[in-house]
Structure 1
Amino acid sequence: MKNNKLIMTMLILLVAIALVGVVAIVMVLNHNGQDPNKEPTIDEVMEATVDIPEITTNLASDDFIRISFKIQTDSKKAKEELEKRSFQINNIIILELSEKTAETIKGKEGQQQLEEDLKVKTNELMQDGKVEKVYITQFLLQ
Protein backbone atom coordinates (compact mmCIF):
# COMPACT_ATOMS: atom_id res chain seq x y z
CA MET A 1 0.00 0.00 0.00
CA LYS A 2 2.78 2.40 0.96
CA ASN A 3 4.68 1.33 -2.17
CA ASN A 4 1.71 2.25 -4.44
CA LYS A 5 1.52 5.75 -2.94
CA LEU A 6 5.23 6.24 -3.50
CA ILE A 7 4.97 5.12 -7.16
CA MET A 8 1.92 7.31 -7.73
CA THR A 9 3.66 10.34 -6.21
CA MET A 10 6.72 9.77 -8.40
CA LEU A 11 4.55 9.45 -11.50
CA ILE A 12 2.72 12.70 -10.70
CA LEU A 13 6.03 14.50 -10.17
CA LEU A 14 7.44 13.08 -13.41
CA VAL A 15 4.40 14.21 -15.39
CA ALA A 16 4.53 17.67 -13.78
CA ILE A 17 8.24 18.06 -14.60
CA ALA A 18 7.68 16.87 -18.18
CA LEU A 19 4.79 19.31 -18.60
CA VAL A 20 6.88 22.23 -17.35
CA GLY A 21 9.68 21.19 -19.72
CA VAL A 22 7.34 21.05 -22.72
CA VAL A 23 5.88 24.48 -21.90
CA ALA A 24 9.40 25.92 -21.58
CA ILE A 25 10.48 24.45 -24.93
CA VAL A 26 7.37 25.77 -26.69
CA MET A 27 7.91 29.26 -25.26
CA VAL A 28 11.56 29.32 -26.31
CA LEU A 29 10.77 28.10 -29.84
CA ASN A 30 7.95 30.61 -30.31
CA HIS A 31 9.94 33.55 -29.02
CA ASN A 32 12.74 33.21 -31.63
CA GLY A 33 14.77 35.88 -29.87
CA GLN A 34 12.53 38.67 -31.16
CA ASP A 35 11.33 41.45 -28.93
CA PRO A 36 7.54 41.67 -29.39
CA ASN A 37 7.61 45.39 -28.52
CA LYS A 38 10.29 46.17 -31.13
CA GLU A 39 9.09 48.40 -33.93
CA PRO A 40 9.72 47.07 -37.46
CA THR A 41 12.38 48.77 -39.57
CA ILE A 42 11.32 50.80 -42.58
CA ASP A 43 12.59 48.00 -44.85
CA GLU A 44 10.35 45.49 -43.03
CA VAL A 45 7.42 47.90 -43.33
CA MET A 46 7.99 48.34 -47.07
CA GLU A 47 8.21 44.56 -47.60
CA ALA A 48 4.72 44.23 -46.15
CA THR A 49 3.13 47.29 -47.79
CA VAL A 50 0.80 47.40 -50.79
CA ASP A 51 0.28 50.46 -53.02
CA ILE A 52 -3.29 51.25 -53.98
CA PRO A 53 -3.12 53.37 -57.14
CA GLU A 54 -5.07 56.58 -57.57
CA ILE A 55 -8.84 56.24 -57.44
CA THR A 56 -11.16 58.98 -58.66
CA THR A 57 -14.74 58.78 -57.43
CA ASN A 58 -17.74 60.85 -56.40
CA LEU A 59 -18.57 61.70 -52.83
CA ALA A 60 -22.05 61.85 -51.33
CA SER A 61 -21.88 65.67 -51.53
CA ASP A 62 -21.55 65.66 -55.36
CA ASP A 63 -17.87 66.57 -55.07
CA PHE A 64 -15.23 64.22 -56.32
CA ILE A 65 -11.96 63.00 -54.92
CA ARG A 66 -8.69 61.64 -56.26
CA ILE A 67 -7.00 59.56 -53.62
CA SER A 68 -4.37 56.86 -53.30
CA PHE A 69 -3.16 54.75 -50.39
CA LYS A 70 -0.41 52.57 -49.00
CA ILE A 71 -1.66 49.71 -46.86
CA GLN A 72 0.74 48.20 -44.34
CA THR A 73 0.16 44.55 -43.42
CA ASP A 74 1.68 42.45 -40.65
CA SER A 75 3.53 39.99 -42.93
CA LYS A 76 4.64 39.19 -46.46
CA LYS A 77 1.93 36.54 -46.65
CA ALA A 78 -0.71 39.13 -45.78
CA LYS A 79 0.75 41.46 -48.43
CA GLU A 80 0.40 38.74 -51.06
CA GLU A 81 -3.22 38.15 -50.07
CA LEU A 82 -3.96 41.88 -50.14
CA GLU A 83 -2.46 42.18 -53.63
CA LYS A 84 -4.76 39.40 -54.83
CA ARG A 85 -7.72 41.17 -53.25
CA SER A 86 -6.95 44.53 -54.87
CA PHE A 87 -10.30 44.62 -56.69
CA GLN A 88 -12.10 44.06 -53.37
CA ILE A 89 -10.03 46.78 -51.71
CA ASN A 90 -10.89 49.22 -54.50
CA ASN A 91 -14.55 48.34 -54.02
CA ILE A 92 -14.34 48.98 -50.27
CA ILE A 93 -12.64 52.34 -50.88
CA ILE A 94 -15.23 53.46 -53.43
CA LEU A 95 -18.14 52.37 -51.22
CA GLU A 96 -16.69 54.11 -48.16
CA LEU A 97 -16.04 57.32 -50.10
CA SER A 98 -19.53 57.30 -51.62
CA GLU A 99 -20.92 57.68 -48.09
CA LYS A 100 -18.64 60.61 -47.18
CA THR A 101 -19.14 64.27 -47.88
CA ALA A 102 -16.40 66.77 -48.62
CA GLU A 103 -16.90 68.25 -45.16
CA THR A 104 -16.45 64.91 -43.35
CA ILE A 105 -13.08 64.12 -44.94
CA LYS A 106 -11.59 67.59 -45.35
CA GLY A 107 -9.60 67.83 -42.14
CA LYS A 108 -7.09 65.72 -40.30
CA GLU A 109 -9.72 63.96 -38.17
CA GLY A 110 -11.83 63.08 -41.21
CA GLN A 111 -8.87 61.62 -43.06
CA GLN A 112 -7.76 59.65 -40.01
CA GLN A 113 -11.29 58.31 -39.64
CA LEU A 114 -11.31 57.26 -43.30
CA GLU A 115 -8.00 55.44 -42.80
CA GLU A 116 -9.37 53.65 -39.74
CA ASP A 117 -12.65 52.73 -41.50
CA LEU A 118 -10.72 51.26 -44.43
CA LYS A 119 -8.45 49.33 -42.07
CA VAL A 120 -11.42 47.77 -40.26
CA LYS A 121 -13.27 46.88 -43.48
CA THR A 122 -10.14 45.42 -45.08
CA ASN A 123 -9.36 43.32 -42.00
CA GLU A 124 -12.83 41.79 -42.28
CA LEU A 125 -11.70 40.30 -45.63
CA MET A 126 -8.24 39.15 -44.62
CA GLN A 127 -7.54 35.50 -43.86
CA ASP A 128 -3.72 35.25 -43.84
CA GLY A 129 -2.82 38.24 -41.72
CA LYS A 130 -4.10 41.68 -40.95
CA VAL A 131 -3.78 45.29 -41.95
CA GLU A 132 -1.69 47.27 -39.49
CA LYS A 133 -2.17 50.76 -40.94
CA VAL A 134 -3.69 52.55 -43.93
CA TYR A 135 -1.88 55.66 -45.19
CA ILE A 136 -3.34 58.27 -47.53
CA THR A 137 -0.54 59.07 -49.97
CA GLN A 138 -2.41 61.38 -52.32
CA PHE A 139 -5.51 63.46 -51.63
CA LEU A 140 -7.23 65.88 -53.99
CA LEU A 141 -10.74 67.01 -53.18
CA GLN A 142 -12.72 68.98 -55.78
Structure 2
Amino acid sequence: MGKLKGILVLVLVVAVIGAGALFYIKKDVIFGPKAEKAITAEELAELSIDTDVITTNLASASNFAIVQFNILLSSEEAKEETEKRTPEVRAAIISTIAGLSKEQLVGGEGIALLEKELSTKLSKIVETGKVERVLVTEFKVQ
Protein backbone atom coordinates (compact mmCIF):
# COMPACT_ATOMS: atom_id res chain seq x y z
CA MET A 1 0.00 0.00 0.00
CA GLY A 2 2.87 2.39 0.81
CA LYS A 3 4.53 1.75 -2.55
CA LEU A 4 1.29 2.47 -4.37
CA LYS A 5 0.93 5.81 -2.57
CA GLY A 6 4.54 6.70 -3.44
CA ILE A 7 4.04 5.88 -7.13
CA LEU A 8 0.76 7.81 -7.22
CA VAL A 9 2.40 10.90 -5.66
CA LEU A 10 5.33 10.63 -8.09
CA VAL A 11 3.00 10.42 -11.11
CA LEU A 12 1.00 13.37 -9.80
CA VAL A 13 4.16 15.49 -9.32
CA VAL A 14 5.42 14.65 -12.82
CA ALA A 15 2.01 15.54 -14.29
CA VAL A 16 1.93 18.91 -12.50
CA ILE A 17 5.49 19.73 -13.60
CA GLY A 18 4.70 18.68 -17.19
CA ALA A 19 1.53 20.76 -17.26
CA GLY A 20 3.43 23.77 -15.89
CA ALA A 21 6.15 23.39 -18.53
CA LEU A 22 3.57 23.04 -21.29
CA PHE A 23 1.72 26.12 -20.05
CA TYR A 24 4.98 28.13 -19.97
CA ILE A 25 5.91 27.07 -23.51
CA LYS A 26 2.44 27.58 -25.00
CA LYS A 27 1.44 30.75 -23.11
CA ASP A 28 1.71 32.86 -26.30
CA VAL A 29 -0.83 30.55 -27.95
CA ILE A 30 -3.18 30.76 -24.97
CA PHE A 31 -2.86 34.47 -24.13
CA GLY A 32 -1.61 35.81 -27.46
CA PRO A 33 1.82 37.28 -28.10
CA LYS A 34 3.08 40.09 -25.90
CA ALA A 35 1.96 43.47 -27.12
CA GLU A 36 4.85 45.42 -28.59
CA LYS A 37 5.24 48.90 -27.22
CA ALA A 38 4.11 51.63 -29.54
CA ILE A 39 6.87 53.59 -31.21
CA THR A 40 7.03 57.25 -30.23
CA ALA A 41 7.19 60.13 -32.70
CA GLU A 42 10.79 60.82 -31.66
CA GLU A 43 11.82 57.22 -32.26
CA LEU A 44 10.02 57.28 -35.59
CA ALA A 45 11.94 60.36 -36.67
CA GLU A 46 15.26 58.90 -35.46
CA LEU A 47 14.81 55.61 -37.32
CA SER A 48 13.34 56.79 -40.61
CA ILE A 49 14.77 58.16 -43.82
CA ASP A 50 13.04 60.29 -46.43
CA THR A 51 14.21 59.68 -49.98
CA ASP A 52 14.66 62.44 -52.51
CA VAL A 53 11.84 63.04 -54.94
CA ILE A 54 12.42 60.55 -57.76
CA THR A 55 11.07 60.87 -61.30
CA THR A 56 11.19 57.79 -63.53
CA ASN A 57 9.48 56.27 -66.54
CA LEU A 58 6.89 53.55 -66.10
CA ALA A 59 6.59 50.28 -67.98
CA SER A 60 3.59 51.67 -69.87
CA ALA A 61 4.49 53.82 -72.87
CA SER A 62 4.86 57.59 -72.37
CA ASN A 63 3.96 57.48 -68.65
CA PHE A 64 6.12 58.51 -65.73
CA ALA A 65 5.90 58.72 -61.96
CA ILE A 66 7.14 61.25 -59.42
CA VAL A 67 7.53 59.60 -56.00
CA GLN A 68 9.06 60.05 -52.59
CA PHE A 69 9.26 57.50 -49.78
CA ASN A 70 9.73 57.31 -46.02
CA ILE A 71 11.65 54.21 -44.96
CA LEU A 72 11.42 53.09 -41.32
CA LEU A 73 14.32 50.95 -40.13
CA SER A 74 14.71 48.72 -37.09
CA SER A 75 17.81 50.38 -35.57
CA GLU A 76 20.13 53.35 -35.73
CA GLU A 77 22.80 51.12 -37.30
CA ALA A 78 20.39 50.08 -40.05
CA LYS A 79 19.55 53.74 -40.69
CA GLU A 80 23.24 54.66 -40.98
CA GLU A 81 23.87 51.76 -43.35
CA THR A 82 20.88 52.69 -45.50
CA GLU A 83 22.05 56.31 -45.70
CA LYS A 84 25.43 55.06 -46.92
CA ARG A 85 23.69 52.88 -49.50
CA THR A 86 21.64 55.73 -51.01
CA PRO A 87 22.62 54.87 -54.62
CA GLU A 88 21.48 51.26 -54.12
CA VAL A 89 18.21 52.43 -52.53
CA ARG A 90 17.54 54.84 -55.43
CA ALA A 91 18.34 52.09 -57.96
CA ALA A 92 15.94 49.68 -56.21
CA ILE A 93 13.20 52.32 -56.22
CA ILE A 94 13.70 53.19 -59.88
CA SER A 95 13.84 49.57 -61.05
CA THR A 96 10.70 48.71 -59.07
CA ILE A 97 8.69 51.63 -60.40
CA ALA A 98 10.00 51.22 -63.96
CA GLY A 99 8.71 47.64 -63.91
CA LEU A 100 5.13 48.71 -63.20
CA SER A 101 2.54 50.20 -65.52
CA LYS A 102 0.31 53.19 -64.83
CA GLU A 103 -2.67 50.86 -64.41
CA GLN A 104 -0.85 48.84 -61.74
CA LEU A 105 0.00 51.95 -59.73
CA VAL A 106 -3.40 53.68 -59.77
CA GLY A 107 -5.45 53.52 -56.57
CA GLY A 108 -4.82 52.30 -53.06
CA GLU A 109 -3.96 48.79 -54.20
CA GLY A 110 -1.27 50.19 -56.48
CA ILE A 111 0.36 52.17 -53.69
CA ALA A 112 0.17 49.16 -51.35
CA LEU A 113 1.77 46.98 -54.05
CA LEU A 114 4.58 49.51 -54.53
CA GLU A 115 5.22 49.78 -50.77
CA LYS A 116 5.30 45.99 -50.38
CA GLU A 117 7.63 45.40 -53.34
CA LEU A 118 9.99 48.14 -52.22
CA SER A 119 10.03 46.85 -48.67
CA THR A 120 11.03 43.42 -49.97
CA LYS A 121 13.77 44.83 -52.23
CA LEU A 122 15.17 47.16 -49.60
CA SER A 123 15.23 44.37 -47.02
CA LYS A 124 17.72 42.58 -49.25
CA ILE A 125 19.96 45.66 -49.34
CA VAL A 126 20.02 46.43 -45.60
CA GLU A 127 22.26 43.96 -43.76
CA THR A 128 22.60 45.35 -40.20
CA GLY A 129 18.89 45.56 -39.39
CA LYS A 130 15.62 45.31 -41.17
CA VAL A 131 13.19 47.51 -43.04
CA GLU A 132 10.13 47.87 -40.83
CA ARG A 133 7.98 49.59 -43.43
CA VAL A 134 8.01 51.77 -46.53
CA LEU A 135 5.50 54.59 -46.97
CA VAL A 136 4.76 56.54 -50.13
CA THR A 137 4.87 60.22 -49.12
CA GLU A 138 4.60 61.79 -52.56
CA PHE A 139 2.98 60.13 -55.57
CA LYS A 140 2.15 61.48 -59.00
CA VAL A 141 1.58 59.38 -62.11
CA GLN A 142 1.25 60.88 -65.57
Q: TM above 0.5, one fold?
A: yes
- In the TM superposition, what whole-angstrom CA distance separates every residue of 1:91-123 from its partner, at most 9, and x where no partner exists? 001101111000101110111111011011111
Percentage of identical aligned residues:
38
Residue aligning to 1:76: 76
Q: How does 1:84-99 map to 2 (within 5 A)?
A: 84-99=84-99
Task: List runs of 5+ in structure 2 lacking aligned partners.
Answer: 1-33
Q: Secondary structure at the match of 2:128?
A: coil
Q: Alignment RMSD, CA only?
A: 1.1
Alignment length (residue pairs): 108
1:64 maps onto 2:64 in alignment: yes
In 2: Cα distance, 1:51 partner to 1:80 partner: 13
Q: How does 1:10-25 map to 2 (within 5 A)?
A: none
| TM, length-normalised to structure 1 | 0.73
Q: How does 1:1-142 map to 2 (within 5 A)?
A: 37-62=36-61, 63-142=63-142
**Structure 1 moving runs of 4+ over 6 Å:** none
In 1: Cα distance, 2:35 partner to 2:91 partner: 34
Q: CA deviation at 1:36?
A: 6.3
In 2: Cα distance, 1:71 partner to 1:126 partner: 11
Q: CA deviation at 1:141?
A: 0.8
In 1: Cα distance, 2:65 partner to 2:125 partner: 25
Task: List runs of 5+ in structure 1 lacking aligned partners.
Answer: 1-34
1:39 is matched by which residue type in structure 2?
A
Q: CA deviation at 1:126?
A: 1.2
| TM, length-normalised to structure 2 | 0.73
